[in-house]
């Protein structure tokens, strides 16, 4: 027997548990490198991890702020789904719509605006993943189509920022028809020789990939974005094979020729502007943008004899 015996008791809590000193939401854990990032640092870095460049998902509105110069005009704000099939799965579709509207402040999963990107007139359709998985129903299809028609009428370039789980099953075949409708409008845009750039973000899947997301004059993706038609789990179960590393991610798709570019979000606006200038033969917004003052004087002195 021991000399002394001490019964172990758990440390007793006195009074109320001490509240955490870190307010909720001030730090974010990066899924890429598991490091804690200060929320403000993340926001100032366009929601890209400063340590490992992991691209966090961003909302449709934040996306517009990143791409456009200043204010924009939003179109077809009032369009909303009427639940044409009176659909119910685990939850009534009407209830899903209501919850998504409350959570995002939007009436459906896309915002279509006209504005300027580095001085170039554009129409941008930006998809909101938080609205029923960015799924494409009748409203999304109609708003994007009207956006393309507006681009045609006003001779603007069209940009669609994709973030979607695919067609909206709660609207059945009606949602599938949007694929053909948008593609038809894009064909008219193509005939009018106006550029269309598809920006594929994490995730772009299903009917969106199978239609307009892959029809860009340029298909640009963000790093490590999940892009595909059926999800990897479904494919694995169907073909009964283990899928390779990086399957359905931007980098592999670029290697296989499915994409034209993979661009870091922090360079995305500049890349899109450069591509649009190339396609529309528009002059640079500010000539000698990246040329230092010393080179300026060099050009001036060189051109001087010619003008005299």
Q: Residue 161 in contact with residue 126, Cβ under 8 Å? A: yes
Nearer Cβ to Zn ion, position 33 or 192? 33
**Cβ of 150: how many Cβ atoms within 10 Å?**
16
Q: Residue 67 in contact with residue 159, Cβ under 8 Å? A: yes
**Alpha-carbon distances, residue 148 vs 90, 128, 144, 145 (angstroms):** 35, 18, 6, 5
Range in contact with Zn ion (rule: CB under 5 A) among 50-58, 226-234, 245-253, 268-276: 50-58
Nearer Cβ to Zn ion, position 41 or 74? 41
- Residue 224 C-beta: closest distance to Zn ion, Å: 11
Q: Residue 281: left (phi > 0), alpha (psi -120 to 50), or beta?
A: left
Does 32 contact Zn ion by CB under 5 A? Answer: yes
Q: Find tokens 């409708």 and name the residue.
A: 181
Q: Residue 137 in contact with residue 108, Cβ under 8 Å? A: yes
Does 197 contact Zn ion by CB under 5 A? Answer: no
- Residue 48 C-beta: closest distance to Zn ion, Å: 9
Does 33 contact Zn ion by CB under 5 A? Answer: yes
**Alpha-carbon distances, residue 295 vs 83, 161, 232, 283, 287 (angstroms):** 62, 37, 52, 20, 13
Q: Taking CB under 5 A as the rule, which mask of x and - marks residues 51-90 in contact with Zn ion? A: xx-x------------------------------------
- Residue 201 C-beta: closest distance to Zn ion, Å: 17
Does 36 contact Zn ion by CB under 5 A? Answer: no
Range in contact with Zn ion (rule: CB under 5 A) among 41-49, 126-134, 233-241, 292-300: 41-49
Nearer Cβ to Zn ion, position 37 or 125? 37
Stretch 203-222 residues interacting with Zn ion (CB under 5 A):
none
Q: How far apart are CA 118 and CA 289, in angstroms?
A: 12
- Residue 266 C-beta: closest distance to Zn ion, Å: 14
- Residue 50 C-beta: closest distance to Zn ion, Å: 8
Q: How far apart are CA 12 and CA 197, in angstroms?
A: 62
Nearer Cβ to Zn ion, position 96 or 265? 265
- Binding region for Zn ion (CB under 5 A): 30, 32-33, 49, 51-52, 54
């Amino acid at each position: 027997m021991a000399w002394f015996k001490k019964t172990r008791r758990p440390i007793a809590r006195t009074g109320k548990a001490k509240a955490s000193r870190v307010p909720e939401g001030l730090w974010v854990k990066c899924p890429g490198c598991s490091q804690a990032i200060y929320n403000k640092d993340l926001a100032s870095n366009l929601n890209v991890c400063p340590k490992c460049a992991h691209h966090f998902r961003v909302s449709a509105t934040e996306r517009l702020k990143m791409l456009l110069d200043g204010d924009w005009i939003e179109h077809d704000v009032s369009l909303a789904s009427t639940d044409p099939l009176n659909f119910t799965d685990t939850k009534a579709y009407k209830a899903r719509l209501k919850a998504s509207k409350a959570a995002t402040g939007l009436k459906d999963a896309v915002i279509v605006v006209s504005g300027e990107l580095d001085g170039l007139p554009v129409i941008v359709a930006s998809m909101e993943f938080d609205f029923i998985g960015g799924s494409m129903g009748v409203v999304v299809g109609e708003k994007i189509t009207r956006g393309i028609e507006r681009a045609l009428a006003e001779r603007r370039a069209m940009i669609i920022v994709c973030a979607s789980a695919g067609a909206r099953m709660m609207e059945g075949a009606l949602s599938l028809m949007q694929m053909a409708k948008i593609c038809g409008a894009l064909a008219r845009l193509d005939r009018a020789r106006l550029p269309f750039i598809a920006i594929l973000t994490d995730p772009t899947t299903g009917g969106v990939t199978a239609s307009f997301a892959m029809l860009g004059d340029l298909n640009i993706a963000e790093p490590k974005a999940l892009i595909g038609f059926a999800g990897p789990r479904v494919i694995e179960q169907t073909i009964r094979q283990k899928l390779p590393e990086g399957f359905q991610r931007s980098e592999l798709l670029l290697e296989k020729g499915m994409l034209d570019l993979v661009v870091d979000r922090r360079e995305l606006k500049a890349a899109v502007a450069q591509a649009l200038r190339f396609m529309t033969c528009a002059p640079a917004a500010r000539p000698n943008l990246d040329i230092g003052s010393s080179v300026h004087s060099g050009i001036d002195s060189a051109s001087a004899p010619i003008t005299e």
